[in-house]
Amino acid sequence: MVIKNKDIAEILKISPAAVSLARNGKSGVSEQTRKQVYELLRSMENQNRKEEETGSRGSITLVMHKKSGKIIAETQFFMMATEVIQEEAQAAGYCVTIMQYNENADVNEFIKSLKGLETNGILLLATEMDVKDLDLYRDIEVPLVVLDNYYITKRQDCVAIHNVDAMFQIAEYLKRMGHTRIGFLKSKIENNNFSERYMGLQLALDSFGEVLEPKFVYKVGTEVDTVYEDMKNILMQKVELPDVLVAGNDILAIGALRALKEYGYHVPEDISIIGFDDMPVSRMMDPPLTSIRIEIKQFAICAVERIVQKIERYSFGPTTIRVGCELMIRDSVKNMNEI
């Protein structure tokens, strides 16, 4: 692919004339601009070379459908998943284009623009989507795989997290640690992952002869600050607390931990906490947070493998892939057996 001056200019926010001067070694541009042009040019040439070496078979579009934007964020999961998807697609001979929908845009116009793309397949990041949202994509004519969600009423290819298995790991660990008074931190904004984790914990506790009591289930926001404020309001009411809180994700756990500390609770001496996602910051908390680690790389690899199978017609009907998780045990859970 020919690298045009106007393409470089648009990326660097400079004029095509300045790019031309820099590429041809002429005066009239600063050394900093010349260096930026050379570095970008080298990067684009390397990208072209890789595409030629792999023999590009076409393109895959990664669509991020954000309704609130409060769940899909620049976290380790979404950033790493996007990076690995791009790497794996390129290795399979496909380039990746990223498109993003947010709630302020006209969804019908977005779908229309998506249909107009020359793409071989779509990976749809559906973390914040419900069934009605999925219906918007029903007339897409190219292969489509849903990521980070599962729709029980739809015959649709999905790559999702094994939330229920993760909750069984947590319940088994808590039983070993002697915990019976178990609570759950729910998000006020529902999505499939949060729902599966809540139901998964109920199922897991039931299998071990324990119960998730409604009085120990709390609804909080989705961001650290809103969780912190909501948890403070709960503590102000002097409600009875469980011995351990299982959070729908690490953000909920971190916000709750902040509020608990402010109200004089010690973790894990007074109350234990478990998160979900194993964000890097979780390991730096005081105490380091026990959390569920998602196999992000495996998630992204499965996504690319499935869409390529569909594109190249090595597929025999809708398939759901559940990617496993691992409980990372740290210092935020008290061993009740030692009391």
Residue 70 has a pLDDT of 65
Residue 301 has a pLDDT of 97
Q: How far apart are CA 222 and CA 55, in angstroms?
A: 43
Tell how many helices (H) and how many strands (E) occur in the chain. Answer: 11, 12
Q: Are 219 and 239 in contact (CB under 8 A)?
A: no
Residue 155 has a pLDDT of 92
Q: Residue 14: is its pLDDT beyond 80?
A: yes
Q: Lay out the sheet containing 325-328: strands in order across.
A: 217-220, 182-187, 244-247, 272-277, 290-294, 325-328
For 189-250, the DSSP string reads S--HHHHHHHHHHHHHHHHTT----GGGEEEE-SSHHHHHHHHHHHHHTT----SEEEESSH
Mean pLDDT of 156-169: 97
Q: pLDDT tier at 230 (50, 70, 90 boundaries)?
A: very high
Q: pLDDT tier at 55 (50, 70, 90 boundaries)?
A: low
Q: Which of 72-86, 97-111, 162-176, 278-292 has the lowest mean pLDDT?
A: 72-86
Show the tokens assigned to 249. Answer: 């994700």
The percent of residues above 90 in pLDDT, for the chain, comes to 69
Tens digits of residue pLDDT in 120-129? 999 999 999 9
Q: How far apart are CA 63 and CA 131, in angstroms?
A: 16
The C-alpha R_g of the chain, in whole angstroms, comes to 24
Mean pLDDT of 21-47: 80
Residue 172 has a pLDDT of 98
Show the tokens assigned to 118. Answer: 């020359």
Single-letter amino acid, residue 235: L
Q: Which residue has the higher pLDDT, 48 or 191?
A: 191
Q: Residue 45: is its pLDDT beyond 80?
A: no
Residue 284 has a pLDDT of 94
Q: Residue 328: is its pLDDT beyond 60?
A: yes
Q: pLDDT tier at 52 (50, 70, 90 boundaries)?
A: low
Residue 50 has a pLDDT of 63
Q: How far apart are CA 127 and CA 21, in angstroms?
A: 46
Single-letter amino acid, residue 168: F
Tens digits of residue pLDDT in 107-147? 999 999 899 888 999 999 999 999 999 999 999 999 999 99
Residue 251 has a pLDDT of 94
Q: Residue 32: is its pLDDT beyond 90?
A: no
